[in-house]
Amino acid sequence: MLDFNNTEIAFSAKSQGELKNAYLLFNTIKHPWLVKCAKIGSSIAIKIHFPLAWAVKPTLYKQFVGGETLQDCAGVINHLTKFNVKSTLDFSAEGEQTPEGIRATFEETLRSIDYAKGNPNLAYAVFKPSTITTDELLCKASEKRSELTIEEVKQFREFRERFMALCQRAYDNDVRILVDAEDYCFQDAIDELTDDAMRRFNKKRAIVFATLQMYRHDRMPYLRRIYDDTIEKGYIAGVKFVRGAYMEEERARAAALGYPDPICKDKQATDENYDAGVAFVMDHLDRFEMFMGTHNEESNYKLAKLMDEKGIPHNDSRIFFAQLLGMSDNISFNLAHEGFNVTKYVPYAPVRDVLPYLIRRAEENTSVAGQTSRELRMLKHEMQRRTQTRK
């Protein structure tokens, strides 16, 4: 029976020492002021090239990152596999948006797709579109396409070629690839390219997956348009559901520029929108494959229950549950124990390059209601359970 409070299963992959280290880490990042200081300090350290690995590697990095290179992640991948949890390798370096930086990220993403080829322990590849172009171009191409200069049209064509090359490599390698969602002002161009890629590469199964941030109130109409398009054009849509990661910035930008707020009015509306999207896909599973990315226990319970009600096997390859490495192990490992398809997002990159990602994880655990307290409560319970068991 599925029980996200079963800490014995949740932390079966961790030693007592690892439990203690995780407890100390979450106990530290529960303080917003400490996370804010760390963010400021890390920004300064990066600018002056101050060495940070000695402080970051044993703490945040060890908890949330698989390694510096693809090969470094092998230990994490193999360890997760022992507990029926697959991995999704995510190159999380946030380099400069220079021609050299863009080329390096593009080539590393290609390597990650090749690395996943034929590896049953790797469920998906993934890329963030803004890492293979510039924010300025992506924004203008989304909001003011007609105003692109001749040079910008050329740059957007090159971005499109890189985007499609990643999807082509995924198709050639038979590796499913997730196109991460981004800021509202970038998303129209990303949606356009993702739609085109799905039509091209998803004829027999879903290879390319669009990411829908369900805190946007326009995502259900977009999901219905995808469904209609799959029928008209004859393909299988890949959909990754997340709640969203840029709420405060989105509302501030909408207010500053005077356009309607794209975000749902409150958390309840976001939850309802998220669950409606999942239910819609489950009602039309003949046209979809789904990647369910959430740390929300209720949403995971609902999907598991819906699969049972519809008589869908827990290991149906069209449905995957997903959480980030180092977070919500109570969800991931209990789902995997019950035979559901589960993957962990496993970021990798050198310490300096992945630091912005690590700070966001710390901020997320601080800001998401109940996230850190849940982690601490479960870690403490499991440490006590093990102590009592040994007596």
Is 283's pLDDT higher than 70? yes
**Tell me, what's the pLDDT at 389?**
82
Q: 132 versus 63: which is more confidently predicted?
A: 132
Q: CA angle, corner 168, sides to 94 and 230, nearest 5? A: 105
Please identify which residue in the block is written with the tokens 């290879």: 207
> What's the pLDDT tens digit per position in 138-197?
999 999 999 999 999 999 999 999 999 999 999 999 999 999 999 999 999 999 999 999
Going by pLDDT thresholds of 50, 70 and 90, the confidence category of residue 95 is low
Q: What are the structure tokens assigned to 157, written together?
A: 């064509």
Structural domain 7-390, CATH architecture: Alpha-Beta Barrel (3.20)
Query: What is the phi/psi pair of residue 190, to 5°?
Result: -65, -45
Handedness of CA 69, 180, 321, 268 (dihedral sign): positive
Q: 250 versus 30: which is more confidently predicted?
A: 250
**Tell me, what's the pLDDT at 364?**
58
Q: Mean pLDDT over residues 92-112, rounded? A: 90
Q: Mean pLDDT over residues 335-341, rounded? A: 98
Going by pLDDT thresholds of 50, 70 and 90, the confidence category of residue 358 is low
**Tell me, what's the pLDDT at 361?**
61
Is 307's pLDDT higher than 90? yes
Is 41's pLDDT higher than 90? no
The DSSP string of 152-172 is HHHHHHHHHHHHHHHHHHHHH
Show me where the domains of the chain are located. Answer: 7-390
Average pLDDT, the chain: 89
C-beta of residue 321 within 8 angstroms of C-beta of residue 335: yes
Going by pLDDT thresholds of 50, 70 and 90, the confidence category of residue 59 is low
**Tell me, what's the pLDDT at 48?**
38
Handedness of CA 361, 366, 367, 368 (dihedral sign): positive
For residues 13-46, b (16+ Cβ closer than 10 Å) or e, as one string?
bbeeeebebbbebbeebbeeeebeebbeebeebe
Q: 35 versus 111: which is more confidently predicted?
A: 111
> What's the pLDDT tens digit per position in 188-243?
999 999 999 999 999 999 999 999 999 999 999 999 999 999 999 999 999 999 99
Beta-carbon count within 10 A of 292 CB: 27
Q: 372 versus 50: which is more confidently predicted?
A: 372
> What's the pLDDT tens digit per position in 108-132?
999 999 999 999 999 999 999 999 9
Is 54's pLDDT higher than 70? no
**Tell me, what's the pLDDT at 24?**
81
**Tell me, what's the pLDDT at 23?**
85
Is 282's pLDDT higher than 50? yes
Going by pLDDT thresholds of 50, 70 and 90, the confidence category of residue 373 is confident
**Alpha carbon 13 to chain centroid distance?**
21
Is 372's pLDDT higher than 90? no
C-beta of residue 244 within 8 angstroms of C-beta of residue 213: yes
**Tell me, what's the pLDDT at 250?**
87
C-beta of residue 247 within 8 angstroms of C-beta of residue 270: no
**Tell me, what's the pLDDT at 51?**
44
**Tell me, what's the pLDDT at 63?**
84
Is 365's pLDDT higher than 70? no
